[in-house]
Amino acid sequence: MVDNSVPDINMSDIVKVLSTVIEPDEALNPIPVALIISGSELKKGLSAQKITKRVLAELPSIGACTGDLPDGSANVMDKVIELIVTKIIEALLTECVIEVGVPAGIPITGTCILGPVQGATSKNTKAKGIVR
């Protein structure tokens, strides 16, 4: 029989090991949980069209031409950017996997036939999500 349980691991030891391998360029500011929860409700999801429009709007600032060419023909670069953005968004939406480590001791609340039940996670576990 295969043991699929997650062993109890000293997280500070893991952080020390990972920090020797992974050195972020800049530390990210932590986001409060309440802001993550409320902010996620306000997001509309990824849009290839909106991202493409934003990229095309920025290109003139670096000297790149957008829109139709002087002879009236379509600008191939606009189409290339649209294709690249669309394919990246498609990949994120169809192939991206979100995995979150949930440490032991996280308070949980549930309901059963006897009413509300409170407790804590008993072991390290993993949660999964999707990109929208």
How far is Cα 111 from Cα 121, in angstroms, rounded to an integer? 15
Statement: the pTM of the whole predicted model exceeds 0.85:
no
State pLDDT tens for residues 65-101.
Answer: 889 988 999 889 899 999 999 999 999 999 988 888 8
Q: What is the mean pLDDT of residues 97-121?
A: 87
- Measured N-to-C along each axis, helices 48-58 and 76-95 cross at an angle, to the nearest 10 degrees, of 140
Q: Which amino acid is residue 81, in one-letter code?
A: I
Contact status, residue 87 vs residue 81, Cβ threshold 8 Å: no
Instruction: Give the pLDDT of residue 11.
Output: 66
Residue with tokens 């995995």: 99
State pLDDT tens for residues 23-71.
Answer: 666 777 888 888 887 877 888 889 999 999 999 999 999 888 889 988 9
